[in-house]
Amino acid sequence: MEQKVIYFDHAATSGTKPLSVTEAIIDCLKNTNANPGRSSHLLSIKAAEIVYHCREAIGELFNFPETEKVILTKNATEALNIALYGTMESESGGEVLTTSMEHNSVQRPLNHLKNKGRIKLKIVQGDRNGLITPQKIEAAIGNETRLAAVTSASNVCGTKLDLAGIYETCRAKGVKLLVDGAQGAGAMKIDLARTPFDLFAITGHKHLFGPQGTGALIVKDPDALAPFMCGGTGSLSEKAVQPDFPPDKFEAGTVNTPGLAGLGAGIQFILDEGIEKIIEREQQLTQYLLQKLREIDEIEVYAPEAERVAVVSFNMKGALASEISYYLDREWRICARPGLHCAPLAHQTLGTFPHGTVRFSLSYFNTEKEIDIAIYALKSYARGE
């Protein structure tokens, strides 16, 4: 009997979705296959309701009732680009502060803006656990700093940042704060009423259990943000200029209605289960995995003292990350991710550049039994079996 696949790559894309997500996507494609906001017939109105309910679900999860300021995107990368280019269009020449633990979806647009002479860029270095404290952020803020762009949690080692402390620091200094919530949304309790970040980017396909091609940018002040893209919105069609009100100002073109149906269902699953329950379960699994990994002398776990989401990076002495991952996949049907995880500066911070790490990223739907199988497989590899 062939062993079932064990999926430990949820930080890339959640491999197990609630059944309701699949059902919502299929129902949309079968029964509501129309364009939202472009017509007034029955199916177009139903499609618009799907989009509306997804926007409302996002607002409820993050305690952000002004849901017209929830800008729907195709992923966190698009949301981050809207935030970075839109902010710096009016702040051209100012300084942006970021960290050494950022994903390329933050680093690359910032470097592009820097190379074009649009911004000055300062990178705050993390420690061996991937942590950047509010004190480090405060020390780095200068007179020209206009924006700080920080991750919620590292996609490499899972380290969570003190977002509340960083928010208070930026607010006191008059610096706008952009948070990349790709790894934190759904894996951390984020309450935008308590910490009203200026800009909060999320993706739907990771911890929110939605499909690929979905995401959002939550914008505190839409008037302070220039649109990243212009085009059809279904509103003010008599004018040849982009609407100046949210969300239309930032949502040019047709949105991914079936995907948003799935994302809305994924977030509703989190709301129904309770995010505290989901976080607690993922933390139990993460601590169990860390405990078991420490039983293997040949393995080094990175960011060993970090407070983390359900992401763990490690290497084994005498083996490349790619070799271990290949073995786990081909011999044990265990899906993990090797390499640099699109975050080269984070690996330089952790001392794992250029070969990277093996990353296990867990989900609410994983089990201790799956972890036990993976640990047995790693021990077998260490023994040369």
What is the tens place of the pLDDT at every residue in 3-27?
799 999 999 999 999 999 999 999 9
Q: Which residue is associated with the tokens 């407070």?
A: 307
d(CA 310, CA 365): 12
**Dihedral angle of Cα 251, 179, 171, 62, to the nearest 10 degrees:** 70
Give residue 303's region: left, alpha or beta (phi > 0; psi -120 to 50): left
pLDDT at 238: 86
The CA-atom distances, in angstroms, between 171 and each of 47, 196, 320, 350 are 39, 10, 43, 29
Considering only 32-46, 61-75, 168-182, which range has the smallest mean pLDDT? 32-46
d(CA 175, CA 199): 12
pLDDT at 3: 74
157: which DSSP letter? T
Say yes or no to pLDDT of 1 above 60.
no
Q: Which residue is associated with the tokens 């899972």?
A: 158
What DSSP element (H or E) covers 33? none
Judge contact between 178 and 208, C-beta under 8 A: no
d(CA 346, CA 212): 24
